[in-house]
Structure 1
């Protein structure tokens, strides 16, 4: 079978080139023009996908070689594309940056795997003629993705722009599809984990609208769409039909508000497919838990809301009681922080749920970041024993841990809690720094839902 879909990879020459801003601008502009845009993000990320989801009006999905492997990239790309007319894939880091020295995990490799042309954005601050050798190297370096054109970002003046265009025309010959002198006005404020989450950005709809307007004013959208249309049909292996979502057998509470925003849509879909009805609630504003059989507490930025989380004494107490009574709870990163005894930031200590035998303190520097490999231990209530591929990035550390040496995971690569283990276990609760993705661990959702059902019946 084959997939016919216009598609384009948005990549930067290096980190902080403006690729996220450009991807949001394109998604907003094309969606505003009536084009059904399906957004994707390469690599583990929560924040960029939230902005792309907002701009496109469709959930942004993850494409990652570490999670999916080379063979599963195409099915992961095709699955959410139904009904879309244009796929926009935002790369990560620089076009040729990655872990593997051979480049098998780069944005360039993904563009080649998807047979998608690349729209390259270059931050041109302090650059004139030097843009030419930069573009030549990016174009000709293996695996030599198809560069469809270039967008010039952070152009200082008309004179600056003219010098850049002259150098590209003289030495490179790539189409110049726009120059953006004022995208800084629409950039989303940076935070210690990257771009500010949608759920916390003031007037985020206005930001997206402003970026869409910049794309309409400063980019050749018609030509960009023509370049996306040059992508050939993709040959796909026939996929097994996706079974209908079954009748729910458990009610799973999912924390979702300004403090807890980090959820992959693939994970939520996997939980529903496993038989969970998701019931969303807010630890910031809800006094009590909804009627649920288990809890899923994702990541986010609880430190920015620590005072409000601490002030919700009734909900904190109820979650602690339910956890000690045997409710199944799974927490990642920010969820771990919330379940701890207290969260300290800028010298101020805020009481949290108190279910875990530890406290958490924020740090100025990242404590861990990147991919990780974990092996469930015998202590993991629903672990399964198979190696788990995940990722982590946190500016906090556990302090005063009193739970002994046994944890739910043995860290094979990464940091976790202490460099050797991750996943604090209290009764039927598991709380780890690692973020799972169903593309890397396809059965985690079914195992967790099975465990929720079993513990609910036993309670």
Structure 2
């Protein structure tokens, strides 16, 4: 059974992403098969994990997937790995509202794996001992097996902290500050992997020098995961185009797996390059269309979508995909003409308009017989035509307008909610693609 360890932080911004990426790189540099995971609904960190480890990183989220879904995902994807490294989210115990749900601690408990706690010790010494004591005793079911001190000022600074910490929780790393190792951020988070030219060999060497990697391997323990029966994918009989470029890059690997399991072949294409494949359905994920609105406005893809939608081609768009499918998109006082598939116009603002987990009640039982769970994160506002139709009512989250989300036009569905295949009706979307193919 694959061993695993979870790398968590005391709070956001302590450097757990940089530390996690470095440990993954160092383990990979040792020729180990490393299966990466990310707690929460994040798209950006997994892109770095995937680039470093050479295998898709998976999201683990006990709200969207449930505890069973988390266990099954690890069981399904870690079998041939020698170690699973899980990067946490926010602070170790930060979950949805004031609960443990969707927290790093919850995932550690579900998988029954130990935690390495990353502490930013800049500006502190003995106070680090108080942090370790509080975090290690807060929930006895969460096992903090070791501590990594980040942004250590000097060897003397590190020794002062080491002498203050309890003997039963070892320090497995003392990492000095290195700005060139960090990943820069912008309004939606860190830069994606394809936008960051980092040296994984240098990263691995840096971690080997400052982290006891042998101790990390020794502290890792087998994941508690269910036995699952492998169900082979259906023979592919439909093709789904997935927009994949710098403008559209927010996707869950599990969604692609779900498409394939339902009998769909995936073809990636770039709207920025004007590509429009001959497919039976299209999926536009989130991303950064605001950064490339000029290229998208003149793209052949943009000009061809309205007729395809009117012809009944199933199209699904999330967040950035929604913005692209609108008639116009205002960014920094300039208005761009986009796909004009759904009856709405949108504009970028300078403040956050929606952030957090969502739950949606379908307005049409033929679309889904159960509620959908996901998340939203956007700075834009979308104004709909008066006769606009929606797919679901938001029980949690803001959606597009007046508590509703999922604009419907022909066989096109586009909303702010990023859905997870655990609750999104993947089979029905693929079946609509089959119906379109049979026309």
Per the normalisation by structure 1, the TM-score is 0.92
**Alpha-carbon distance in 2 for matches of 1:161, 1:94:** 22
CA distance 1:145–1:202, shift in 2 (3 Å): closer
In structure 1, what is the equivalent of residue 376 of structure 2? 392
Aligned pair partner of 1:304 in 291, 300, 304? 291
Equivalent in 136, 140, 143 of residue 139 of structure 1: 136
Relative distance call for 1:30 and 1:419 in structure 2 (3 A) is farther
Structure 2 counterpart of 1:90 = 87
2:387 corresponds to 1:404: yes
> Any idea what SS the aligned residue of 2:302 has?
helix
Q: Which residue of 2 aligns with 1:319?
A: 305
Unmatched tracts of structure 1, length 5 or more? none
Q: What does the per-residue CA deviation read over 1:300-346, in whole Å, with 9 as the maximum and x for residues that have no partner?
A: 1111111111121x221111221122211011111111111122222
Q: Tell me the equivalent position of 2:428.
A: 447
| Residue 251 in structure 1 maps to residue 235 in structure 2 | no
Tell me the SS of whatever aligns to 1:366.
Answer: coil
Flag the 1:172–1:351 CA change in 2: closer, same or farther, 3 A.
Answer: farther
Match of 1:185 in 2: 180
Q: CA deviation at 1:418?
A: 2.1
Whole-angstrom CA distance in 2 between matches of 1:359 and 1:208? 42
Partner of 1:176: 171
Query: 8 Å contact 2:40–2:103 — kept in the other structure?
Result: no
Residues 158 and 62 (structure 1 numbering): CA distance in 2 closer, same or farther, change over 3 Å?
same
> Shift of the alpha carbon at 1:82?
1.7
Between 1:65-74 and 1:96-105, the stretch displaced more is 96-105
Corresponding residue for residue 328 of structure 1: 314
- The equivalent residue for 1:128 is 125
Asked if structure 1 preserves the Cα contact closer than 8 Å seen for 2:108 and 2:114, the reply is: yes
Q: Give the distance between the partners of 2:3 and 2:74, measured in 1 at CA.
A: 13
Distance 1:157 1:141 in 2: 30
- Identify the match of residue 10 of structure 2 among 7, 10, 13: 13
Q: Structure 2: how far apart are the matches of 1:107 and 1:320?
A: 42
Residue 241 of structure 1 corresponds to 230
Aligned residues: 439
Q: How does 1:127-276 map to 2 (within 5 A)?
A: 127-168=124-165, 171=166, 173-199=168-194, 201-203=195-197, 206-228=198-220, 231-232=221-222, 234=224, 236=226, 238-242=227-231, 244-276=232-264
In the superposition, relative to structure 1, how do residues 257 and 80 fare at CA in structure 2: closer, same or farther (>3 Å)? Answer: same
Unaligned runs of 5+ in 2: none
Provide the alpha-carbon RMSD of the alignment. Answer: 1.7
Cα separation, 1, equivalents of 2:79 and 2:402: 42
Aligned equivalents of 1:138 and 1:345: distance in 2?
44
Indicate whether 1:285 and 2:273 are aligned.
yes
Q: Does 1:429 align with 2:416?
A: no
- Map Cα deviations across residues 388-447 of structure 1 (whole Å, 9 max, x no partner): 111111111103x21525311111111110241001111110001111111234xx1111
Which deviates more, 296-305 or 100-109? 100-109
Q: CA deviation at 1:100?
A: 5.3
Q: After superposition, give the CA deviation of every residue in 1:28-70 in whole Å (9 maximum; x if it has no partner).
A: 1101110000011111111111111111111111111112222
Structure 2 residue corresponding to 1:42, chosen from 39, 44, 58: 39
CA contact (8 A) 1:154 1:184 kept: no
- Give, in whole Å, the separation in 1 of the partners of 2:101 and 2:326: 39
Structure 1 position 65 matched with structure 2 position 62:
yes
Task: Give, in angstroms, the shift of residue 235 of structure 1.
Answer: 6.0
| Aligned-pair CA distance for 1:158 | 2.7
Q: Does 1:366 align with 2:356?
A: no
